[in-house]
């Protein structure tokens, strides 16, 4: 199956802390979507974007990413409903939920659905990139322990 994940034009040789990691970025605000997309591509990630929860779920079932950056407030299917579907599969991707909502109740609900990290908007892009890299490293270490 061919992949629609993209490198930034001309950045294939640069490398970065997220080299060739497949990242799905889901946000209905185009400016935020584009900024997060550019930040991940600058670190070598292969990215796809979606602007609603239904599209995010479809992409995750057809061409699963390694990590999903998921907004909570989305059209068609909320971030929580998308999270529930995405995390309902055995080999589900890492999911970082980003939201402007400050309520602890929402964070607890996200955690109960399996979110790997919950971050407040506006999220500094460097912090988001580091969190993604840390979660991927932890997953890779855990998988290494299981295989040994």
Q: What is the reported pLDDT for 17?
A: 86
3-class DSSP state for residue 131? helix
For 1-10, the pLDDT digits (tens) are 334 666 655 4
Per residue in 80-112, is it b (16+ CB within 10 Å) or e — as a string?
bbbbbbbbeeeebbbbbbbbebeeeebbeebee
**What kind of fold does domain 22-147 have according to CATH?**
Rossmann fold (3.40.50)
Express as a percent the part of the chain with pLDDT over 70: 87
Among residues 23, 15, 8, 13, the alpha carbon closest in space to that of 128 is found at: 23
Across the chain, mean pLDDT equals: 88
Q: pLDDT band for position 101 (50/70/90)? A: confident
Q: What is the reported pLDDT for 12?
A: 47
Q: CA-to-CA distance for 78 and 113, rounded, in angstroms?
A: 13
Domain range list for the chain: 22-147
pTM for the whole thing?
0.88
Whether the predicted pLDDT of 31 surpasses 80: yes
């Amino acid at each position: 199956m061919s992949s629609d994940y993209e490198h930034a034009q001309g950045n294939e040789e640069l490398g970065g802390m997220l080299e060739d990691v497949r990242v799905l970025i889901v946000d209905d605000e185009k400016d935020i979507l584009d900024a997060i997309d550019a930040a991940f591509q600058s670190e070598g990630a292969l990215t796809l974007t979606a602007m609603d929860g239904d599209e995010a779920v479809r992409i995750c079932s057809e061409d699963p990413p390694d990590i999903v950056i998921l907004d909570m407030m989305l059209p068609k299917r909320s971030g929580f409903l998308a999270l529930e579907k995405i995390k309902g599969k055995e080999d589900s991707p890492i999911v970082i939920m980003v939201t402007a909502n400050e309520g602890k109740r929402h964070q607890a609900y996200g955690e109960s659905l399996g979110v790997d990290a919950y971050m407040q908007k506006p999220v500094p892009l460097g912090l988001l990139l580091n969190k993604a890299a840390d979660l991927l490293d932890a997953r890779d270490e855990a998988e290494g322990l299981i295989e040994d």
